[in-house]
Structure 1
Amino acid sequence: MTQPTLDRRDARAGHLDVALRLVTGGLPVLPLRVGKGPFGNCRNCANNACGGRPNMKTPGPCACPWPCHAWAAATTDPAVIASPAWKTAWRYAGAVAYHPGGAGLAVVDLDDADAVAWARQTLPPTRTVTTTRGEHWIYRGAMRSVNGVREGVDLKSTMSYARWLGPGTGALADLPDVVRALAVKKPATVQPAPRAVTVPAPAGDAECRHRSPAYLERGIAMAEQRITDATSAVHATVYRTFLAVLSGHGRCGCLTETHIARLFTAAQAKGESPRHCTDAWTNARTALGM
């Protein structure tokens, strides 16, 4: 891949112009809405009714004209990028994104100053790009993407996207083993909520209304499966599942650390970080007044 660069014209260019320039260097691009998220699926692709490109291993435009399916919409085809539907998306876009894995790249996303300091002490030098809160360290080589490999550090490569924030500085280095090793999750790293939910039972009803442990076990197993089966909107699915579990089982005091850890394990297997799991659990409790 020819490493794309921006000249001074790009700093003043619109998102479409920047995207067209980037694809000449082989970088698969897609528009992001304001807020850094991808545009939602069109009506034909809602809820992955079309089959869902995220189930595939390579990026490319969907059969529909809209930039659907997040990272999987990324393309190097100028005709698609400048098509009427995509032009509409670019007009409302807040940023240009690219699919690192589709370009044979991996991005170590360092989210804060502590993460940047860790990288400078631990990782081989490579091309770096300044972000709003930290830095992107870009390596030559693709790997699987994993969020939350350590505090403030995400890996973005295959089946993921990163914002284009400029060409950065420094020469691209080959993807080192130390970065690949970060993607290997240890089974014992699950971090459940700080404590089990022990909200007292309503007055006059000290006995668990579920009566049988099998009822709770079935509920937890169904919640695990719901998270595991998610093919898109994983963040939202995890939150809604936590909300449903707490709504059904959270007020009688029957949930334990083991139950919560099972839910967190399922969520982390879908790429959620321990921090995201804890935040989703806390937000669900707050929504239910617990």
Structure 2
Amino acid sequence: MTHPTDIPRDPGAVALPATLHTALQLAEQGLPVLPLRQGKGPMGNCRTCRKNACGGRPNMKTPGPCACPAPCHAWAAATTNPHILTSPAWAPAWRQAAAVAYHPGGAGVTVVDLDNPDAVAWARQNLPATRTVATTRGEHWIYFGAMTSPNAVRPSVDIKSLMSYARWLGPGTGAMVQLPDVVRALAVKEPAAVRPASRPVAAAAAAPVGGGECRHRSPVYLERGIAMAEQRIEEAPDSIHRTVYRMFLAVLSAHGRCGCLTDAHIKRLFTAAQAKGESLRHCEDAWSNAVAALGM
């Protein structure tokens, strides 16, 4: 499934609401779409489906969770079927629609929603470049591949993919790349905290065995990643368990498979975490869970 790179214009097309015209063009290219009301929210459910009184489909994984012909149930109403999009049941929604949204997971993509300049700066330092779309306050970074859709994975960063919707704001710029492990790792909940243990500052975990020559080809890249993780841990004002775990995930996702990560690097991370009050036991647990989460 590819993301549209442009919306062709047909001067001879029948006049339609601008939002419906855009939706039909996107649906033709494989994006499941739905109308958004003013305020960027989906259309409210009809009377029959209000408060999910209709029951819906238990798994909510396919467009149209019930037999209702109207655009109900938010993301689950998204469709590529032009007959549904232009049906009389959808006409009132298009007349009042302020924008068009799409179901990223249904199109096989994931949107990293960066809601302000600080979040964008973080992405540029930590995520591989991909297609980007400017938003009102930040950017959408779009990757090939679907995943779960947690909100607030870090300050001002949401993930929109399966069972979610994203506003269509244009084709964006840049070449889309595969969804990286570092983004998938953001959705993994950190392990529960453990009681502090009186053990020395040392890394009991071992570095994963890499697959050969470092693909980064420069020790500077690794040093920058370790230093950045240390800084994030040292500057964390709260949620230290979450920060430690996610920094371990970030380092492992970038360096754990190429053979450049050493026990000395891990010791630096553990030392930074323990300086913030983390126990060695929790560091070991967080590292083991990060290794398991990434399938190493």
TM-score range, shorter chain: 0.5 to 0.7
Match of 2:46 among 37, 42, 50: 42
Does the aligned pair in 2 maintain the 1:144–1:183 contact within 8 Å?
yes
Does the aligned pair in 1 maintain the 2:54–2:66 contact within 8 Å?
no
Match of 1:114 in 2: 118
Q: Deviations along 1:186-236, whole A, 9 cap, x unmatched? A: 2559xxxxxxxxxxxxxxxxxxxxxxxxxxxxxxxxxxxxxxxxxxxxxxx
| Structure in which a larger fraction of residues adopt helix | 1
Q: Does 1:32 align with 2:9?
A: no
Q: Does 1:180 align with 2:184?
A: yes
Does the aligned pair in 2 maintain the 1:61–1:67 contact within 8 Å?
no
Deviation at 1:53, TM superposition (A): 4.3
Which structure 2 residue ranges, 5 or more long, are not aligned? Answer: 11-15, 194-296
Deviation at 1:57, TM superposition (A): 2.0
Q: Does 1:3 align with 2:7?
A: no
Does the aligned pair in 1 maintain the 2:131–2:174 contact within 8 Å?
yes
Match of 1:71 in 2: 75
Does the aligned pair in 2 maintain the 1:59–1:72 contact within 8 Å?
yes
Q: Deviations along 1:115-168, whole A, 9 cap, x unmatched? A: 000000000010000000000000000000000000000000000000000000
Look up the equivalent residue of 1:6 and give its one-letter code. D
Match of 2:105 in 1: 101
Deviation at 1:52, TM superposition (A): 2.5
Look up the equivalent residue of 2:112 and give its one-letter code. V
Look up the equivalent residue of 1:148 and give its one-letter code. A
TM-score (structure 2 length as normaliser): 0.60
Matches within 5 A, 1:171-250: 171-187=175-191
Match of 2:144 among 140, 145, 148: 140
Does the aligned pair in 1 maintain the 2:23–2:33 contact within 8 Å?
yes
Match of 1:168 among 172, 186, 190: 172
Look up the equivalent residue of 2:29 and give its one-letter code. G
Q: Kindly tell me: are residues 133 and 102 of structure 1, through their superposed partners in 2, closer, same or farther at Cα, counting changes over 3 Å?
A: same
Does the aligned pair in 2 maintain the 1:61–1:75 contact within 8 Å?
no
Does the aligned pair in 2 maintain the 1:62–1:73 contact within 8 Å?
no
Deviation at 1:5, TM superposition (A): 3.2
Deviation at 1:59, TM superposition (A): 2.6
User: Secondary structure, in 3 states, of the residue corresponding to 1:96?
Assistant: strand
User: Secondary structure, in 3 states, of the residue corresponding to 2:162?
Assistant: coil
Match of 1:129 among 127, 133, 140: 133
Match of 2:61 in 1: 57
Look up the equivalent residue of 2:86 and give its one-letter code. A
Query: What is the distance in 2 between the residues matched to 1:6 and 1:154?
Result: 25
Q: Deviations along 1:237-282, whole A, 9 cap, x unmatched? A: xxxxxxxxxxxxxxxxxxxxxxxxxxxxxxxxxxxxxxxxxxxxxx
User: Secondary structure, in 3 states, of the residue corresponding to 1:178?
Assistant: helix
Match of 1:287 in 2: none
- The total of aligned residue pairs comes to 188
User: Secondary structure, in 3 states, of the residue corresponding to 1:146?
Assistant: coil
Deviation at 1:75, TM superposition (A): 0.5
Match of 1:91 in 2: 95
Query: What is the distance in 2 between the residues matched to 1:44 and 1:149?
Result: 35
Deviation at 1:55, TM superposition (A): 3.8
Does the aligned pair in 2 maintain the 1:105–1:140 contact within 8 Å?
yes
Does the aligned pair in 1 maintain the 2:153–2:187 contact within 8 Å?
yes
TM-score (structure 1 length as normaliser): 0.62
Query: What is the distance in 2 between the residues matched to 1:187 and 1:104?
Result: 29
Deviation at 1:7, TM superposition (A): 4.0
Aligned CA RMSD, in angstroms, stands at: 2.0
